[in-house]
Amino acid sequence: MYPQNSKTEKIWRLIDILNWGKKYFKEKSFDNPRIEIESLLQHIIGCKKIDLYLQFEKTVTPEDLIILRGLIKRRVNREPTQYIIGSSEFYGRKFFVNQDVLIPRPETEKLIDVSIDILSKKENPIILDVGTGSGCIGITIALEIPFCSVIAIDISNSALSTAKNNADMYGLKNIQFINLDILCQDINHTADMLISNPPYISQEEIPGLMSDVKDFEPMVALTDNSDGLEFYRKFSNIIPQVVKKNGVTILEVGRGDHPERVKEIFSKAGYDNLESVRDLNKDTRVLVINNS
Ligand code: GLN
């Protein structure tokens, strides 16, 4: 039974919902049933996770139970929690998200570590964030490096409006947004850093993705509808015009042999100052291309 106040007036305390939800999401084959119910309940109550347990005897109002029921149904239908609650976290900050933008991934935070290390040594750098989506990369850099200017581009106007909302939430003045299709249109800016987490899932891999991703996240943000390398080929062509001398390009790469295939594109194009950055699992997640 869903937690709802029926005529029998069953009282639902936070702990009852947590226990019920854990069981329910487990039955529905979710990997982390406890986290599923905690995230939705915490959103409804408007509290921190720990408070759910500190105030475990607190009863939930019939109105909140009705709302919660709707959210549970959406999650069971595999809609990502971040879309259901309308926000996600990236580099310790909140970002509004919706189905127009990719949900920021923790692995993308590695790009930020690498970039702020480099940018903190430059004077008033200009950063070009290609495929900004929610704006998580460009906005985080604009916040971390206040003396920089960020140009964030995206093919999707609806993604850009979400990114602008995020920039406004942080009161940012050092970021501008441009609607541009990097694969087909020329970019009339030069930058000290090009940074991107481009759509790198190949068309072949799409059917094998989990439903949470393939049925809800924007296809345009996931795949190039080709071999997952189109954007890297494009970058290798435009870097000489777009990235200044002594500038740098920072790109997220995928799993398996994807990093090697990306690297090959740049070495074949004559770039000889390439660095791979690995994550804690020793997988290459970031490719750094230094202009000489
Ligand atoms: N830049 C955004 C992110 O890293 C969006 C990336 C994309 O849409 N491929 O999450």
pLDDT tens sequence across 169-221: 999 999 999 999 999 999 999 999 999 999 999 999 999 999 999 999 999 99
Counting Cβ atoms within 10 Å, is residue 34 exposed (0-12), middle (13-18) or buried (19+)? middle
pLDDT at 281: 84
**CB-ligand 1 contact for 137 (6 Å cutoff):** yes
Q: Answer yes or no: are the C-beta atoms of 37 and 26 closer than 8 Å.
A: no
E strand or H helix that includes residue 75: helix 62-76
Q: What is the pTM of this model?
A: 0.94
Taking CA atoms only, the protein residue closest to ligand 1 atom 5 is: 133
CA gyration radius for the chain?
22
Concatenated DSSP letters for 48-68?
-HHHHHHTTTPBPPHHHHHHH
pLDDT tens sequence across 4-45: 655 556 899 999 999 999 999 999 999 999 999 999 999 999
pLDDT at 279: 85
Q: How far apart are CA 218 and CA 102, in angstroms?
A: 6
Q: Which of 91, 136, 175, 217 to mutate to test the pocket of ligand 1 (most atoms within 8 A of CB)?
A: 136
pLDDT above 70 covers what percent of the chain?
97
pLDDT above 90 covers what percent of the chain?
95
Mean residue pLDDT of the chain comes to 95
CATH of domain 90-291: 3.40.50.150
Q: Which of 93, 98, 134, 224 to mutate to test the pocket of ligand 1 (most atoms within 8 A of CB)?
A: 134
